[in-house]
Amino acid sequence: MEPFVDTAIPIVTFLMMIAVGHGLTVSDLFRSVTDLRAVVTATLGQLILLPLIATVLVLVFNPAPAIIAGLVLVAACPGGTISNFYTCLAKANSALSLTLTAISCLLSFVTLPVLVAFGFRFWLDDQPDIEVPMTVLVFQLLLLVALPTCLGMILRRWRPAATERRDLALRRVSLISLVTLVVYIAYDQRAAMTSALGQLTLVAVVFTLLAMAAGFSLAWVTGRSPVDRLTYLIEFPCRNLALALVVAVTVLDRPEFAAFATVLLLIQALFMLSVVAFLRRDHSSG
């Protein structure tokens, strides 16, 4: 893949993580302690249930190795900022969504390498050319996740008014940039994606539905309010796909592993916007 793509993906990821940090303050972290049950159950739920969903999909559909790799990457990724956008549109609990996204991102420099290494070793052990460079991956995540997230928090504390004014623009620019990169990668990998489009789409649809169900069910079992249930429903399937691209293209140099993330982004947009439209129609009719 062209050098500018290898450069653009980390830059877009860095910007998105700054936006995550903009949405979180130290006081927010302390406030989350008062609702520690929600933060802990939702965070652990994503770390446990999403890899389990990926396991079920591999066992049921037996997809191609590249799709398995993409599925493992996506399931291991933390929550994405796009979930905050959908949560806002759905009028769910935006503060909870921002907190869950930020915490999962801060933890991801540890959780993502471990889950990816385990998933690849378990499912792709017969693919000797697929190796996860743990040291490089952890270092990349520290630079592209932990550092910019903390930087975003510092900027918000240092210049709160200016940060708030620029936050929406930063989120829009980073989201548009991510979509542009996804479209470019899809075009670059069009031959491989076209041959496996049916399986890619099927796995992406089922992953999204099961992740939505898992989030909603966990919120219901733990006694969350209807608004929080909707927040979990959105948060669980919406992964940080920019990180999936970083690992696939930049760290592993396997752009074909990004195919699942590109299809998933489009599939989830259809699902989430449909949920938002249904809720708004229901509110307007009520």
| DSSP code for 132 | -
Q: Is the pLDDT of residue 283 over 60?
A: no
- More confident site: 219 or 131: 219
Q: What is the reported pTM?
A: 0.85
Round to whole Å and give the CA distance between 1 and 8.
12
CA 264 – CA 211 distance, rounded (Å): 12
CB 149 within 8 A of CB 81: no
Is the pLDDT confidence value at 96 over 60?
A: yes
Indicate the range of 46-50, 179-183, 202-206 predicted with least confidence: 179-183
Cα(74)–Cα(156) distance, rounded to whole angstroms?
29
Give pLDDT, residue 183: 82
Question: Which is higher by pLDDT, 52 or 101?
Answer: 52
> How confident is the model at residue 286, as a pLDDT?
53
Q: Which helix (H) or strand (E) holds 21?
A: helix 3-22
For residue 154, what are the CA distances in angstroms to 37, 163, 245?
A: 27, 10, 26
CATH topology of domain 3-277: Na+/H+ antiporter like fold (1.20.1530)
**Rounded Cα–Cα distance for residues 251 and 286 (Å):** 50
Q: pLDDT tens for residues 67-92?
A: 999 999 999 999 988 888 888 888 88
pLDDT tens digits, one per residue of 42-59? 999 999 999 999 999 999
